[in-house]
Amino acid sequence: MTKTSLCPVCETRETDPAYKPFCSKRCADVDLSRWLKGAYAIPGRPADQAEDTPPRREDSEG
């Protein structure tokens, strides 16, 4: 017994090995578009609350 996976974009069709984990090129492109538009985000602290980075060391000897 094999478990079938549904496309994470349209959630109606089984995945196609050529476009896995998607069912088609269209769904793969929809997912890429979502990433590029910022629809997906990894949670984290706002940039203004991020840890300060140490100052750059100037290598100006001579």
At 12-59, the pLDDT tens digits run 999 999 999 999 999 999 999 999 998 988 888 777 765 666 667 776
CA atoms of 31 and 13, how far apart (whole Å):
15
- The number of helices, as runs of H, and strands, as runs of E, in the chain is 1, 0
DSSP 6: B
pTM of the model: 0.61
- Half-sphere exposure at residue 2, Cβ-oriented, CA atoms within 13 angstroms: 4
Residue 9: name the closest of 29, 27, 34 by CA. Answer: 27
Distance of CA 13 to the CA centre of its chain: 22
pLDDT of residue 46: 75
